[in-house]
Structure 1
Amino acid sequence: MKDVKQQLLTGERALFKAHDLRIENSTFGDGESPLKESTNIELVQAIFKWKYPLWYSEKVLVNDTIFEEMARSGIWYTSDIQIMNSTFQAPKSFRKSNQIRLKHVHFSNADETLWNCSDIYMSTVEAAGNYFCMNSHNIIVDKLSLVGNYGFDGAKNVEIHDSTLITKDAFWNCENVTIYDSKIVGEYFGWNSSNIKLVNCTIESDQGFCYMDNITLENCVLVNTNLAFEYCTNINAEVNSTIESVKNPISGYIHANHIQKVIADDADIITTNIKISDGQE
């Protein structure tokens, strides 16, 4: 592997089709697509200042690196990339990429980041931005801090642990999502999704859990949650708190410490298909 050290690299496609390079303490200045079509690249303490740094790349290891604000749309159509101890100021940082590993990464502007990607592993990641992880699949997350609406819209095969998600309209249109030991704050959680399971979680969600199929809550706390479970099927909910109100669930089982109000105002729903129990009964 050849070394590139303390270089200022400028101009369009500065290291086009580079391979077997270790790039250290170097800055990529003005010039689009500096590492397009690259293979087997290691980046250490690098700085990217301009657009499209890693497109159509393979086998990339990134450590202690900064992607500045104009390094937008930075990693598209790329496979087998590992990023550690790094910071992204740029939006739209991943698109149609796969085999992505992120550890100790901060996305200060995560708008439209990780779209249509697959085989993602995240550990100790901070992200602020809307539409994070949209339409991506095969995702494992540990210790994600997300602030931004519409998180994980359209995602499939997701497993999340020990995370804090402040995100309205999160997990819409999803399939096969399991969340453990996490806190979720945001209105309208999970609409139009199926096979969703939350274990040991705290959720604050006005009109959350509606239009869902096969929704499971195990040992969860629902805070400030009303009009929940509207038109949901195959519910299995064990809630260790008060639910402000439940509205027109279709089938399954709901148990809570207390349910302040049950609304059943749709004559088309067969109420014998849903069992609702209150710990204060």
Structure 2
Amino acid sequence: MELIKDKEFGGERPLFGTHDLQLENVIIRAGESAIKECSNIIATNCRFEGNYPFWHVHGFTIDRCFFDVGGRSALWYSDHLKMKDTRIDAPKMFREMSDIEMENVEMNDADEVFWRCNDLHIKNLKLHGGTYPFMFSNNIYIDGLESDSKYVFQYVKNVELHNAKITTKDAFWEVENVTVYDSELNGEYLGWHSRNLRLVNCHITGEQPLCYAHDLVLENCTFGADCDRAFEYSSVQATINSPISGVKNPATGCITAESYGEIIIDENIKAPADCELKLWDDTTCFDQ
């Protein structure tokens, strides 16, 4: 493997088409496509300032690196990436990629990151700002996520998420086969139009959560006081270890909670209109 150490590159495609390359303390200055159409690349303690440095790269490691604001859209159409202890200040990262392993990464402009990616295994990720992270991505495992990005996890499939704190709006829309464990989900309109969304030991805040959901499951979750008009037109099995401020027209299933605030069951409810609302003492059932 060729070693390049303590050097700077700029301009157009300075390392285009190289293979079996190790970069240490290298700076990629302004320019485009510095490491395009490459394979078996290791970058350690490097700084990336130019656009599109890693496109069509197959098999690469990025360790203790920094992507400056100018290094936007840096990782596209690539696969078999291992990234660790890296900070990213540029937007639009990770597009049309597969087989990504990541640990201790912070992204400070998470606008449109992880779009149409497959097979992600992530530990300790921080996302700040931006919109629509993980759009249209599949087969995702994450343990440790902090995110204040808007519209996170839309149109994703086959996701397992642990130990997350997500503050957002419209999270988990149109998802399929998603399970979230031991997490805090803060924001409006959570999980609308989802299929097979399962929340385990989660705390949920924000108005009108979990509406139009199909085969929704909640286990040992708690709701904040602002969770009103929940479960509208949803098929749901839920155990809530707290009061629920409001429930509106759940379609079918069973909800068990500590207590209920406003219950709206009106002529607009959808068939089969047989969802049971129960209390934990199991002595009261609010039939429709």
Which of the five TM-score ranges fits, normalised by the shorter chain?
over 0.9
- Residue 47 of structure 2 is matched in structure 1 by 47
CA distance in 2 between counterparts of 1:109 and 1:272 reads: 44
* Counterpart contact for 1:181–1:200, Cα < 8 Å: yes
- Residue 91 of structure 1 is matched in structure 2 by 91
**Superposition deviation, residue 269 in structure 1:** 3.4
Counterparts of residues 116-131 of structure 1 (less than 5 Å): 116-128=116-128, 129-131=130-132
CA distance in 2 between counterparts of 1:263 and 1:30 reads: 59
Aligned AA (2:62):
V
Aligned AA (2:280):
G
CA distance in 1 between counterparts of 2:280 and 2:123 reads: 38
- Residue 25 of structure 1 is matched in structure 2 by 25
SS in 1 for 2:123: strand
Aligned AA (2:40):
N
Segments of structure 2 that go 5 or more residues without pairing to the other structure are none
1:209-265 CA-to-partner distances (Å, cap 9, x unmatched) read: 0011010000000112110000112x1000000110000110100110011121011
- Residue 150 of structure 1 is matched in structure 2 by 151
Matched residue count: 280
| TM-score normalised according to structure 2 size | 0.95
RMSD: 1.1
* Counterpart contact for 2:249–2:269, Cα < 8 Å: no
Aligned AA (1:176):
N
- Residue 100 of structure 1 is matched in structure 2 by 100
* Counterpart contact for 1:248–1:266, Cα < 8 Å: no
Residues 30 and 270 from structure 1, CA distance in 2 versus in 1: closer, same or farther, beyond 3 angstroms? closer
**Superposition deviation, residue 42 in structure 1:** 0.2
Shift >2 Å, 4+ stretches: 266-272, 278-281
Aligned AA (2:97):
S
- Residue 113 of structure 1 is matched in structure 2 by 113
Aligned AA (1:131):
Y
Counterparts of residues 1-281 of structure 1 (less than 5 Å): 1-128=1-128, 129-223=130-224, 224-233=226-235, 235-267=236-268, 269-270=270-271, 273-279=274-280, 281=284
1:21-78 CA-to-partner distances (Å, cap 9, x unmatched) read: 1100010001100000110000000000010010000100010000000110110000
Aligned AA (2:234):
C
| TM-score normalised according to structure 1 size | 0.97
SS in 1 for 2:215: strand
**Superposition deviation, residue 279 in structure 1:** 3.4
CA distance in 2 between counterparts of 1:144 and 1:278 reads: 33
